[in-house]
Amino acid sequence: MKNNKLYVPILLLFLAATLNMANAQTKIGVRAGVNFSNAIMKMENGEKGETEAIPGFHLGLTVDIPIAGDFYVQPAALYSTKGFKQKGKGFGYSNDFKADVSYLEVPINLLYKPKLVGGNLILGAGGYLGYGTGGKWKSASSVLIGDIQIGDSGDVIFQNDASKGEFGTYLYGKPLDYGANFLLGYELFNQYSIQFNGQIGLANLQTEFNGVKGKGKIKNQGFGISLGYKF
């Protein structure tokens, strides 16, 4: 995650652009919460990877832009952590293996917010675009690559081509991710909100090797809960 600071200016530029779009009816807000993510894998031989979800968090800003009646468009800029844990063979390990990764994400959702018991119901769906910035891996025992022991932890990287990987690192997949969002929540006083989020990755993050596409697949998937506050 040592490269995360390089992407912070990109996030700030996006937020500045959304603020410039603001008018009297547009609401700027903050959103934070926990998420449980997993990587759905299919190996080159067609076998399904036995992965499990891990907890993480997300944090960022949102902009609610009214379009008609109770309908809104909500772009956001989020820092989100994802990953998976796994038991069994792979990457030279035979015990517990865990990969924690971070993404910068720009979700854009269409919201429907009808009145409900002194507040507003929140129903939403849309898509997201994300970019992997790095992470860490760790194993319950030392990892062997052939006869070489590289320890029990290291960095996670993102690359489009696996031939450009770095020794001792775990190559999670391609950095560019995209998929679908679904959400259900409740808003009180047009200011405080709680919502449940679902995310289905549609991009196959499986890397190429020297330009040759493999038969494997890896896609992100997750769900979570968020608390929000609008200024």
pLDDT tens, the chain, 231 aa long: 445 555 555 555 555 555 555 455 789 999 999 999 999 998 777 778 789 999 999 999 999 999 999 999 999 999 999 999 987 655 555 568 899 999 999 999 999 999 998 899 999 999 999 999 999 999 887 776 555 667 788 999 999 998 887 777 889 999 999 999 999 999 999 899 999 999 999 999 999 888 888 888 999 999 999 999 999
Q: Is 143 left (phi over 0), alpha (psi -120 to 50) or beta?
A: beta
Rg for the chain, CA atoms, rounded = 20
How do beta strands 176-188 and 192-201 pair?
antiparallel
For the chain, the domain total comes to 1
Handedness of CA 196, 100, 215, 89 (dihedral sign): negative
**Which residue range(s) make up the domain with 125?**
4-230
Write the CATH number for 192: 2.40.160.20
